[in-house]
Amino acid sequence: MTAVQDYREYLKEILIPEEKLQQRIAELGAEISRDYQGKDLLLVCILRGGVMFLTDLVRYLTIPHEMDFMAVESYGKGGREHGELRLTMDLHTGIAGRDVLLVEDIIDSGHTVHQVLELLEMRKPRSLRVCTLLDKRERREVEVPIHYRGFEIPNLFVFGYGLDMDGYWRNLPFIAVPDLDRYQPPATPA
């Protein structure tokens, strides 16, 4: 198997540096702590991209809260277009009567988040809001209510800080833009 290409070989630019990310996440944590003071807050993170954001976000919360996780896949024609949502891992916590905050890494077309919100709404939470680190607004095809937004970004492919390049480089502390002409996808095992 060929080694995975070092991201520095195809890094085009750092779109959001670590310091700016952490500053905004701290601000979001303060807003959420203020808005949910005295409420029964449950943070729901969609795996896997949102984990780094959630982990840093909860460090800035000053209120009691719980966390839970779900994983979803969306399949459309050819695996590229939006389609039917498939739940691959459900919550372990009941959300009826709870104040639920859905935590996402990035929202672009809006289809997946829209379907997840519909699924969660059927479970009768007291309130249901969305917090996303990145909002790729110009790609929106389905409107979704975003209550807490880290950054609005242009329609660029990005990686780092939870977002991957073919499964790798989620661990980078910044949001980066790749030069796709210089990127070599990892070889798939035969």
Q: Which amino acid is at 162?
A: G
pLDDT band at 155 (very low <50, low <70, confident <90, very high): very high
To which residue do tokens 């409107």 refer? 143
Each residue's pLDDT tens digit, 60-88: 999 999 999 999 987 654 444 556 788 99
pLDDT band at 186 (very low <50, low <70, confident <90, very high): confident
Q: Round the average pLDDT of the chain to a whole number and report it.
A: 92
The catalytic residue among 68, 108, 179, 181 is 108
Each residue's pLDDT tens digit, 158-167: 999 999 999 9
To the nearest whole percent, how much of the chain has pLDDT over 90? Answer: 85
Domains of the chain: 18-28+35-154 (3.40.50.2020)
Note the pLDDT of residue 145.
96
pLDDT band at 190 (very low <50, low <70, confident <90, very high): low
Which parts of the chain fold into alpha helices (H)? 18-35, 51-59, 111-121
Higher pLDDT, 2 or 69: 69
Note the pLDDT of residue 2.
60
| Interval 119-135 mean pLDDT | 98
* Region class of 167: left (phi > 0), else alpha (psi between -120 and 50), else beta: left
Q: What's the predicted TM-score (pTM) here? A: 0.91
Give me the helix-helix angle, 51-59 and 18-35, nearest 10°: 60
Asked if 135 is an active-site residue, the reply is no
| Interval 24-42 mean pLDDT | 98
